[in-house]
Amino acid sequence: MAKVSPRTLSGFMELLPAQQMKMERMMQILRDSYARYGFTPLDTPIIESAEVLLAKGGGETEKQIYRFQKGDSDLALRFDLTVPLAKYVAQHYGELAFPFRRYQIGKVYRGERAQRGRFREFYQADIDVIGDGKLDILNEAEVPAIIYDTFHALGLSRFKIRVNNRKLLNGFYAMNGMSEKAGEIMRTVDKLDKIGAEKVKQLLIDEVKMLPCKAENVLDFMAICGTNAEVIEALERYRGMDATFDQGLDELITVTKYLRDFGVPEENFAVDLTIARGLDYYTSTVYETEMCDHPEIGSVCSGGRYDNLAEYYTDKQLPGVGISIGLTRLFYVLNEQGLLSDDLVTAPCDALVLPMTEELALRKAGLRVQLYGEKKKFKAKMSYADKIGVPFAVFIGEDEMNEGVLSVKDMRSGEQVKLCPDEAAAYMAKRIAELNSGAVIRE
């Protein structure tokens, strides 16, 4: 028979079993972490009506979208989890309690140009808090505090959540009479990291057509840095010149205070005036999260506060705050950098039983147990045990049957002991717990 070559599309992640186990573990930590803060899990369709999904329309997004006809229906695959959330909240408004706190971990689709580390199908892991008309500023601190907790639970400590406030920026541009050019200026200032202050200044003058003194003002402002207290002190010097600026500064002060109250260490968050977020719907606090030792990756977790989640679907004012982890990309990068722990058990089971009936007792002890029933030579069986990386092989031969014991072989140390089933279960469970006690990510 002519064969079709089995292959996976470029830009689609498909992992081998041991890698997939690491991914699952990360997802489980995210689920547990979000649930601990009272977020409810949500699952929305991957396919939506194109009209609904593209209600906002235009932009880069539309070019990248997977859109197709099925019968008479114009369909599209979701490209993020925010638009489906907006639809969901507008649609089920009457049945939800506000603030509505949801998390969603799901696949999204963008037909980007395929390149290393860029995915067309990828997981996003989002949390959002949506208010009905109003939403307290406390949420703008809690959301990054949850991200701190989550990253910490994954095993990361060398990361920084950068925080800024859009009102602060808008106010600053207003006080300099540059409001109309604010968008252009922000896009240019975004290049600071890449091309440096001198070149940015030249671009501001040449292309944005700013006066040199104004361009300098912008660069001076963006250059404000230091500890969080120092940055805020520097910002206080601008107070009183623009009401929006003052409001943004007050909010920033409140958010950083709450962040400390929530127990986020000073080294894990930083007020950073260069963060603006491209999307135009953020209205005050915005976040980006950088891995300190890998700034080249860019932000692995971003979000912010918005005033109007679902304006394309409803007249209800639905302010919210949310943050999104690009999980597939984060996993890819951590894996590439060798930051995913190999110490934890990635085998499909904890114990491989060769060959008969006693395995049930072990399973009741919470161990993941595989009964190996294939009629193979001993060597082939052990080679299987090696290949799947199982921590323990359990032998039940005639001797063991007569004595009512199991022979348990620690596949890592090679040590072999005879134990009665209960003892064997406890012995293995203890060792498995040790093996799995580390973090998923090792820096």
Q: Which of residues 40-79 bind a copy of itself (CB under 8 A)?
A: 40-49, 51-52, 55, 66, 68-71, 73, 75
Does the protein bind a copy of itself through residue 23 (CB under 8 A)? yes
Shortest CB 146 distance to a copy of itself, Å: 10
Burial status of residue 95 (CB atoms within 10 A of its CB: 0-12, 13-18, 19 or more):
exposed
Between residues 51 and 236, which has the closer beta carbon with respect to a copy of itself? 51
Looking at 107, 158, 201, 442, which residue binds a copy of itself (CB under 8 A)?
107
Q: Does 35 bind a copy of itself (CB under 8 A)?
A: yes
Residue 250 half-sphere exposure, CB side, CA atoms within 13 Å?
8
Asked if 388 interacts with a copy of itself (CB under 8 A), we say yes
**By CB under 8 A, residue 95 contacts a copy of itself:** yes
Kind and range of the H or E run holding 236: helix 228-236
Whether 65 and 94 have beta carbons less than 8 Å apart is answered as no
144-203: contacts with a copy of itself (CB under 8 A): none
Interaction between residue 384 and a copy of itself (CB under 8 A): yes
Residue that has been written with the tokens 């601008």 in this structure = 238
x/- binding map, residues 293-332, to a copy of itself, per CB under 8 A?
Answer: -----------------xxxxxx-----------------
Spatial neighbors of 64 by CB under 8 A, at least 6 apart, are 79, 110, 111, 112
User: Given the rule CB under 8 A, which of 1-9, 155-163, 195-203, 330-338 is the region that contacts a copy of itself?
Assistant: 1-9
Contacts of residue 134, defined as CB under 8 A and 6 or more positions apart, other chains included, come to 319
CB distance 321 to 163 below 8 Å? no
Window 342-381: residues binding a copy of itself (CB under 8 A)? 348-349, 352, 357, 360, 363, 366-375
Of 231 and 367, nearer to a copy of itself (C-beta) is 367
Residue from 353, 389, 367 nearest 18 by CA:
389
CA distance 123 to 30: 12
Buried b (16+ CB within 10 A) or exposed e, 266-285: eebbbbbbbbbbeeeebbbb
Instruction: Decide: is 227 part of the binding site for a copy of itself (CB under 8 A).
Output: no
Residue 92 interacts with a copy of itself (CB under 8 A)? Answer: yes
281 binds a copy of itself (CB under 8 A): no
Contact between 91 and a copy of itself by CB under 8 A: the answer reads yes
Nearer to a copy of itself, 135 or 273 (CB): 135
Helix (H) / strand (E) containing 32: helix 17-36
Rounded to whole angstroms, the Cα distance separating 84 from 90 reads 10
Size of the site for a copy of itself (CB under 8 A): 95
Closer residue to a copy of itself in complex, CB, 28/416: 28
- In the complex, what is the shortest distance from the CB of residue 267 to a copy of itself, in angstroms, rounded to a whole number? 19
Site membership for a copy of itself, residue 5 (CB under 8 A): yes
Q: Which is nearer to a copy of itself, 227 or 357 (CB)?
A: 357
We find the least distance from the C-beta atom of residue 201 to a copy of itself, in angstroms, to be 39
Q: How far is the CB of 55 from a copy of itself (least distance, A)?
A: 4
Q: How far apart are CA 206 and CA 292, in angstroms?
A: 33
CA distance 434 to 397: 28
HSE at residue 400, side-chain half, CA atoms within 13 A, is: 20
Amino acid, res. 32: D
96 touches a copy of itself (CB under 8 A): yes
According to CB under 8 A, which one of 61, 62, 138, 341 is a site residue for a copy of itself?
A: 138
Kindly state whether residue 433 participates in binding a copy of itself, applying the rule CB under 8 A: no
Q: Kindly state whether residue 397 participates in binding a copy of itself, applying the rule CB under 8 A.
A: no
Q: What is the largest CA-CA distance in the chain?
A: 93
- Least distance from a copy of itself to the Cβ atom of residue 371, Å: 7
According to CB under 8 A, which one of 29, 30, 81, 90 is a site residue for a copy of itself? 90
Rounded to 5 degrees, what are φ and ψ at 71?
60, -130
**DSSP code of residue 416:** E
By CB under 8 A, is residue 424 in contact with a copy of itself? no
The full DSSP string for 50-103 is HHHHTSS--HHHHHH--EEEETTEEEEE-S-SHHHHHHHHHHTGGG--SSEEEE
Minimum CB separation of residue 289 from a copy of itself in Å reads 21
Find, among 65, 45, 46, the residue nearest to 54 by Cα: 65
Q: How far apart are CA 211 and CA 75, in angstroms?
A: 48
Residue 4 interacting with a copy of itself (CB under 8 A): yes
Phi/psi of residue 436, nearest 5 degrees: -95, 10
Nearest distance, CB of residue 150 and a copy of itself, angstroms: 13
Which member of 30, 81, 99, 128 binds a copy of itself (CB under 8 A)? 99
Nearest distance in Å: CB 268, a copy of itself: 16
